[in-house]
Chains A and B, each alone.
Chain A
Amino acid sequence: AQTVTQSQPEMSVQEAETVTLSCTYDTSESDYYLFWYKQPPSRQMILVIRQEAYKQQNATENRFSVNFQKAAKSFSLKISDSQLGDAAMYFCAYRSARGSEKLVFGKGTKLTVNP
């Protein structure tokens, strides 16, 4: 079974600085998808960024980018120019490209942004 590990329960960053959240996963599959979701306090979980395993190029979405290392099974999220609105729980998730639509989530990292 696939597992997702987020080793940093909490992180903090100064406004306008850069922070990197770590995620590792375990799978025997070669084709899959990886996601970072953001869950602000008392608000809806939203997708931040997505990476297809067959793509070598790292995904980017404005201030958010990933460092996808397939061999190392690592999928970190970099947030540049951090803003107060980035404060949230961040969840890394894995989905197989075949069969089940099941998302496997990590335990999450709570990000605090200090003004």
Chain B
Amino acid sequence: ETGVTQTPRHLVMGMTNKKSLKCEQHLGHNAMYWYKQSAKKPLELMFVYNFKEQTENNSVPSRFSPECPNSSHLFLHLHTLQPEDSALYLCASSQVEGATYEQYFGPGTRLTVT
């Protein structure tokens, strides 16, 4: 595996279900991010982790719970979601320090809440 991978690629869940999204980066980066991409809206940053520590929570509802056990893995735990949470969830990674700062994205998980 190379780059940033995400599983599952597609997920359909009911409002009472509990599920988790997984992200893994193989780039040796030390920062990881969760974004939400909805139709007709800009990408919304949800969470930022630097060296496994959460450094940003962009006013995300508590039904989304991130977990970063190490610099290579990032999870997004989902519970009691709402239909408006249906979206493409993108994971990204980057180096915190360095000359480039660009973020590398995974393919995303397409989430549908029924």
Interface residues in A, total, Cβ within 8 A: 21
Residue of B nearest to A9 (CB): B40
Q: Knowing A33-B101, A35-B102 touch, does A43 contact B42 (C-beta < 8 A)? A: no
- Which one, B15-23, B72-80, B103-111, is touching chain A? B103-111
Secondary structure class of chain A's binding surface, majority of residues: strand
Contact of A102 among B3, B48, B90, B106 (CB under 8 A): B48
Quick check: B48 and A101 within 8 Å, CB to CB? yes
Quick check: A95 and B101 within 8 Å, CB to CB? yes
Contact of B102 among A50, A105, A108 (CB under 8 A): A50
List residues of chain B with CB within 8 A of the CB of A102.
Answer: 45, 48, 56, 58
A46 to B33, CA, bound (A): 15
User: Would you give the shortest CB distance from A86 to chain B, in whole angstroms?
Assistant: 18
A73 to B40, CA, bound (A): 23
Contact of B107 among A44, A50, A95, A108 (CB under 8 A): A44
Q: Does B31 contact A (CB under 8 A)?
A: yes
Residues of A within 8 A of B (CB): 4, 33, 35, 37, 43-47, 50, 91, 95, 100-108
